[in-house]
Amino acid sequence: MNESIFDKLDFGPLKPLLDNDDITDISYCNGGQIWIRSLTQGSIRIEIPDCTQEFMEKLAFQCSNVMGTTFNNAKPFLDAESSELRLNFVHQSIATNGIACVLRKTPAKIRLKKEKLIEDDYFTTDIHDILIKCVEGHCNIMVCGETGSGKTEFVKYLASHTKENEKVITIEDTLELHLDKIFPQRDIVAMKTNNVASYTDVLVTCMRQNPKWILLSEVRSAEAVSAVRNSISSGHNILSTIHADKASAIPYRLYSLMETDLDVDQFLNTIYRYIQLGVHIKAYYSKKYGKFHREVDEVTEFYVDENNVCQTHTIYRKLFDKEPILVKPSNHLLEYLANQNIDISNITEKLTDRPFEEMVEEAKDDHDDTTIPKTEVGIPVQPESSTSTVEPQVSIMPDNDVSITNNQDQSLMPALNEVGNNVQVNEPTIPIQNDSFTQAVINDNTNNLFDSSNNENNIENTIQKEETQQEPQPEEFKPAVINTISIDDVLNGS
């Protein structure tokens, strides 16, 4: 579908949103709700009075007409795309709460810039420089994260650092990279799969084009995994994205997509041997920055050691509310880069070679040391310097009187009765600090330690009190209130 077809569509009240570079996705659903995804504000709901159910149905019919297809009960799904825009409609016969529509913008530009990334705490300067050097050294890199985290944008940023004289071929099922338009002077071929040409067909043709780099927009099927495996094992370099919850899980995520009885060890050995780095990107609303925040959360190496065992080595991780941890890359990665005439010694010489997990545990211990220790009942534990150990003392007094301190175990009472008939309980002589906390604990022990009858009464009273208490009634369910803003506020950035 070319750009002139979309020019014939009347986007009406949605046009200002499409023209705003800060907005990447527009969603219409649930009989009139409009949600947008913004680079700075994340997902927010907005109000556009003129964007009604009738208008969205009209837009869907316009789209189906210019495409020469239908949109009704018999064909309830409609997809359309141009070089920078994708539309998807679901008919109300399937979406029972009203027609559903998603518009996704894929502009032919690279939004990420180094200075802005460092300023926004996307990652540190050192890990940025290491990743760029790895691209220059022809490392195979997979970028993972959840939907909307910015995986494709980051791959485009990495691809912009490939050498100008190296041929690049992009393979996509939906157009998102647009490297051929971003770098029109370079040797770049953009290929798109469809019902006629599958990933396998396109990849076979791609190999005959003799590329240095193969960029797969997203690996989400067994066919795409096979394309990745065949590409890297044939000596080509790849940059691609995949859905995974952490960088170290990428190889197993690739295997899970295969859905075959392929030997897991053999498959993982290929992945660990030929994919050098995995990068995980996280996106969330940050209270610290007061906006939607994206960051590189983890960078992990993959390699096969001298004993033919698959190994992972995490070199970078972002910890919550702490400085990121960055360690020296493994010798396998350093040797690989050295073979490509890439030297990163100016970066690694200031990095530690301590085990990564050891540094993570140390960071956690430092965080735990700043907290106040708690006992099992939640009472703060006093420092050791403020407590004293008092040994039980028994003193035989004149006239067979026996004096004991009230911190003595009651098991001594029968023996003491044999010594004398009069047993006198004295107040304890305990050297303590003059503070309210310690005094309260001592007073409580003094009153209750030897009075077993009082203890039993207290236990019975507590049980009776608990029995008489009614179970707490569940609070009445109240649906969450979602604040909406006007389209003018969005466009004005307020």
DSSP track, 45-110: EEE-TT--HHHHHHHHHHHHHHHT---SSSS-EEEEE-SSEEEEEE-TTTSTTS-EEEEEE--SS-
pLDDT for position 238: 92
* Bridge partners (DSSP) listed for residue 47: 486
Amino acid in the structure at residue 253: R
Which residues 6+ apart lie within 8 Å of 207 measured at CB?
A: 234, 236
Tokens of 366: 């430092």
**Nearest of 356, 361, 261, 269 to residue 311 by alpha carbon:** 269
Helix, strand, or coil here: 353? coil
Which residues 6+ apart lie within 8 Å of 278 measured at CB?
A: 141, 142, 143, 144, 244, 247, 248, 250, 298, 299, 300, 302
pLDDT for position 463: 52
Query: Given the DSSP bridges, would you call strands 33-38 and 23-29 parallel, antiparallel or unpaired?
Result: antiparallel
Tokens of 29: 């659903």
Which residues 6+ apart lie within 8 Å of 366 measured at CB?
A: none
pLDDT for position 301: 95
Q: What are 38-72's pLDDT values in tens digits? A: 887 878 898 888 888 899 999 999 888 888 889 99
Query: Given the DSSP bridges, would you call strands 213-219 and 422-426 parallel, antiparallel or unpaired?
Result: unpaired
Q: Report d(CA 315, CA 130) in Å as an integer.
A: 10
Confirm if 434 and 410 have CB atoms less than 8 A apart. Answer: no
pLDDT for position 476: 54
Residue where the block lists tokens 């569509």: 9
Which residues 6+ apart lie within 8 Å of 267 measured at CB?
A: 229, 254, 255, 258
Backbone angles phi, psi at 403, to 5 degrees: -110, 130
Confirm if 463 and 457 have CB atoms less than 8 A apart. Answer: no
Alpha-carbon torsion angle 145, 150, 155, 161, nearest 10? -130
**Residue ranges of the chain with per-residue pLDDT less than 50:** 1-2, 370-412, 414-434, 437-438, 441-442, 448-450, 452, 477, 479
Residue where the block lists tokens 């040409």: 197
Q: Report d(CA 414, CA 327) in Å as an integer.
A: 66
Q: Report d(CA 217, CA 176) in Å as an integer.
A: 7
Q: Report d(CA 103, CA 101) in Å as an integer.
A: 7
> What is the share, in percent, of the chain residues with pLDDT greater than 90?
32
Tokens of 431: 């050297």
Which residues 6+ apart lie within 8 Å of 188 measured at CB?
A: 167, 168, 169, 170, 179, 180
Alpha-carbon torsion angle 110, 115, 120, 123, nearest 10? 90
Q: Report d(CA 205, CA 190) in Å as an integer.
A: 12
Tell me which DSSP letter residue 359 carries: H
Q: Report d(CA 335, CA 325) in Å as an integer.
A: 23
Residue where the block lists tokens 């009989």: 31
pLDDT for position 220: 80
pLDDT for position 492: 65
pLDDT for position 105: 87
Amino acid in the structure at residue 378: G
pLDDT for position 400: 45
